Structure 1
């Protein structure tokens, strides 16, 4: 039996091959923006956003050479790496497009999921780099996703046979409930629990999956926990981390949510 009971979605441009050139063009347009966000926000908490190369000070973004925001990810002056590793953002965008294609939902739903993915991708790379999830990104993901799913409900789009309004309320409940559990673990367990950034991230990721039902929410969390556990074991065996080390959980939450969204 499937995890959700959603209504059949007619085959359309999302599943056709005709739209791939436009999708690739969109990815090429969005990738520099994501690279700029990652480079700017990959700094310790309480530190001002990065505006230039750490080595030579050459600015990146609209005020600097374009090489820093290209797939090469190099400073235009000294060639030091800036931000996310070369080609990784572009690859992640292609994977995100594949997730949207597999989900194959109506237009407004797709916009909501695309918004969440566009916020989640920089969070993925920033958390990997500096073990933090900036509030500006988690807040944008939460409020934007909630609002767009609300529009999907008003437009008559529905994740399940229950109807758009019920789906939207369940999405909000899922995001709030999982965030409460994560935040409670922070209060009760301190560093051994989830971070508050993780709690803020699941406000949006659990809401996206809750739109389809509770099954995808549990699937997304299960994938995240299993992937984090396996990665921890591999890193311990390889001597890359210690038992007392800290592994950022945000990337695994995003990965698990993407898997569950593609299968929903």
Structure 2
């Protein structure tokens, strides 16, 4: 997860990060790993690489806690675990550079869809999976529609791709659960935006990344409703 954040937390249109910004030392699973540890320091020049020290690890602990507290059948919980494994780096990358890379959003959504399909097959009940599929497509299309209609004032296409997995996961448990998750995401974003305005850390024209709020709201919704 730390490697994913380090590689993809770059400005839109830039090449994925392949090494330390300071000295160029390569990073990767086949390289020496100190830069991928909690200290987040390059093993050569000691410059910080990727997310802040301990941040990825703290987010991972929160994801494991969410998985432990969420209910549901084993097959659905496996889909939640898969989604959380991708959602952690997605939220951190979006918070850092306002970007939700396809290399993370598509596997997250596809894995959720397949694992929920397997759960439906095991239970011999296709209704939840069909509802999850419809919910994912509906939420993704709704987010994409705001981009087409409102441009930069709407959600980004990355948010729409993230919504595919979120919608399917919440839709599995019912349309009301999906509505709760969406309302909670918007509420969290609004509260944080107002807090930043009050602290003079943002302006009315500022654009908050929505991915972290959607991820947090989905996890909280699963804890509260399943």
> Which residues of 2 match residues 66-77 of structure 1 at below 5 A?
66-77=33-44
Q: Is structure 2 residue 94 aligned with structure 1 residue 94?
A: no
Structure 1 contact 99–258 (Cα < 8 Å) conserved? yes
> Which residues of 2 match residues 99-138 of structure 1 at below 5 A?
99-138=66-105
Unaligned runs of 5+ in 2: none
Aligned to 1:182: 143
Q: Is structure 2 residue 196 aligned with structure 1 residue 235?
A: yes
Structure 1 contact 58–64 (Cα < 8 Å) conserved? no
Structure 2 contact 71–222 (Cα < 8 Å) conserved? no
CA RMSD of aligned residues (A): 1.3
Looking at structure 2, the residues matched to 185 and 84 of structure 1 have their Cα atoms a distance apart, in angstroms, of 30
SS in 1 for 2:126: helix
Cα distance, 1:61 vs structure 2: 2.1
Structure 1 residues 162-206: Cα deviation after superposition (integer angstroms, max 9, x where no partner): x73110011111111111111111111111111111111110011
Aligned to 1:166: 127
State which drifts further: 118-127 or 108-117.
108-117
Structure 1 contact 99–262 (Cα < 8 Å) conserved? yes
Looking at structure 2, the residues matched to 105 and 72 of structure 1 have their Cα atoms a distance apart, in angstroms, of 36
Cα distance, 1:107 vs structure 2: 2.7
Looking at structure 2, the residues matched to 48 and 67 of structure 1 have their Cα atoms a distance apart, in angstroms, of 23
Count of aligned residue pairs for this structure pair: 225
Looking at structure 1, the residues matched to 185 and 52 of structure 2 have their Cα atoms a distance apart, in angstroms, of 22
Greater C-alpha Rg: 1
Aligned to 1:151: 118
TM-score calculated relative to the size of structure 2: 0.95
Aligned to 1:205: 166
Match of 2:12 among 35, 45, 52: 45
Cα distance, 1:105 vs structure 2: 3.1
Looking at structure 2, the residues matched to 55 and 82 of structure 1 have their Cα atoms a distance apart, in angstroms, of 9
Cα distance, 1:48 vs structure 2: 1.4
SS in 1 for 2:12: coil
Match of 1:217 among 178, 183, 202: 178
Q: Is structure 2 residue 216 aligned with structure 1 residue 255?
A: yes
Looking at structure 2, the residues matched to 60 and 208 of structure 1 have their Cα atoms a distance apart, in angstroms, of 33
Aligned to 2:157: 196
Aligned to 2:27: 60
Looking at structure 1, the residues matched to 97 and 196 of structure 2 have their Cα atoms a distance apart, in angstroms, of 18
Unaligned runs of 5+ in 1: 1-33, 157-162
State which drifts further: 142-151 or 73-82.
73-82
TM-score calculated relative to the size of structure 1: 0.82
